[in-house]
Amino acid sequence: MNFLAASIESLGAKIVGGFTVGYGIFAFLTQAVWSLLDRNTWNHATYDVVIKQVYFTAIQILHVFLAYVLVISWILVTIILTTARDFGLAEFASEMTIRVLVLELLPFLAVLFIALRSGSAMNTEIALMRVNNELDALAHCKVPPMQVEFLPRLIGGVISVIALACLAGLLALLLAYLSIYGLTPAGFDPFTRTIAKIFDFRIVAGLIVKCALFGLAVTLIPITAGLETPKKLFMVPVSVLRGMMRVFFMIIVIEVVSLALKYI
Amino acid sequence: MAAVAALPEDVARVALDLPLRANLSAIDNVALIPLYQRHYSAAESTRQAHAMLDRLGHADIALLRDSDMTPAQRFVAQLARALMLKRPRLVIDRPGAMLYDVPYPRFIYQLAAQADLSGTWDIYDFSWNQTLYPE
């Protein structure tokens, strides 16, 4: 009986904890949107920090990311092409390639790249800022942390995921064309027709929204996890662990919901 | 230290619990104030921050980050940031905790003389350190 009561109590605590975290994230997002709409937010300083964030999040990793995209796209295009030819479905190869790579896999790869590199760093930095009282110091100086530290990271994350996913998609399209038709303009017409058929307004809007949500997930969750950190140095790794687990969970949720909306 | 906690909002504080932003240089830490409070451009804010550090006789620490500074240099950067707030009263809270590498009452007096600014500077320190301060 005691075991049952303890289990129910533990489950209840977990559910309440989950709701508290969810509420914290939502409240922070509301505050960020409010700040985004505030005219005073948009000055040279904020623009500068946003540009710096995009540089650190997307530009710095561009060459490595594109190298990964090149290798993964080449392997997957080859697999899809070979399998399609084996089953006599060669005419569907380009459509399958675009759907699998450009719409699903590459945005996922982009968000994983940013989550592992920038999301974890962001979580650690915010947690350390909180533990070291740096946020209190900013508040004492009446320098708004939302404007200086958080909002540029959110905007930078969203822009970076969208930009990296678009670049990766373009590279994959080029690679797919070269793999299917080779160095000849002969396949340009059917290939562009396939692209036009797939990329209707709904799909493009869905892709951008998905990438934007990915961008929010890899910045918003680490920031809020960092802000939740108790003021104890040994809690910083715990905060990063929790934050990254939530990021992973949220990325999977966004991807599954996007697939369900598209194909079910 | 309840007295420090009860200080009004228009008091600028230099204290161990109000550290510099660790990933910014001394000059960037000071420049945050004109940049975000008074909406000056980045160039003008940096110029003002440099002028403040120069006034305190420590322009050489401008590009140093928190971890690269000595305790005295860190104190100067925090002081420059507090002075940049341009509040009528400045409280230096337990300087011994920040300035453990220099004879601190003299060091603070020297900085105050160099800063040549209006306003009141108060030092809050433990009673057992009273002998350090000349009458």
Q: For position B44, which CATH number holds? A: 3.40.50.300
In a domain, A127, yes or no: yes
Cβ–Cβ below 8 Å for B19 and A148: no
Q: Is the pTM of this model over 0.80?
A: yes
Using CB atoms, which residue from A128, A136, A141 is nearest to B33?
A141
* Amino acid at residue number B56: L
CA B105 – CA B53 distance, rounded (Å):
19
DSSP labels, B63-117: T-BGGGS-HHHHHHHHHHHHHHT--SEEEEE-HHHH-TTS-HHHHHHHHHHHH--
State the pLDDT at residue B2.
Answer: 56
CA A102 – CA A100 distance, rounded (Å):
6
Residues A138-167 as b/e (b if ≥16 CB within 10 A, e otherwise) read bebbebbbbbbbbbbbbbbbbbbbbbbbbb
State the pLDDT at residue B116.
Answer: 66
CA distance A139 to chain B (A): 10
Is residue A152 a contact partner of residue A46, using CB atoms and an 8 Å limit?
A: yes
State the residue range of the domain holding A150: 44-263
Number of domain units in chain B: 1
CA distance A14 to chain B (A): 34
A241 SS3 class:
helix
Using CB atoms, which residue from A48, A132, A144 is nearest to B19?
A132
Dihedral of the CA atoms A46, A124, B93, B28 (nearest 10)? -30
The answer, for B38 touching chain A at a CB cutoff of 8 Å, is no
Q: B89-113: per-residue pLDDT in tens?
A: 999 999 989 998 888 888 998 888 8
Among B4, B7, B18, the strongest candidate for a mutation testing the A interface, having the largest count of A CBs within 10 A, is B18
CA A222 – CA B29 distance, rounded (Å):
24
Cβ–Cβ below 8 Å for A141 and B32: yes
CA distance A39 to chain B (A): 12
Cβ–Cβ below 8 Å for B18 and A128: no
> Distances in Å between the alpha carbon of B128 and those of B3, B69, B94, B124, B125?
17, 28, 12, 12, 8
Number of domain units in chain A: 1
Paired tokens of A186: 């002969």
In a domain, A230, yes or no: yes
Measured between beta carbons, the chain A residues lying within 8 angstroms of B42 are 44-45, 48
Which of A36-50, A178-192, A202-216 ranks highest by mean pLDDT? A202-216
Q: A48-101: per-residue pLDDT in tens?
A: 889 999 999 999 999 999 999 999 999 999 999 999 989 988 888 888 888 899
State the residue range of the domain holding B87: 2-132
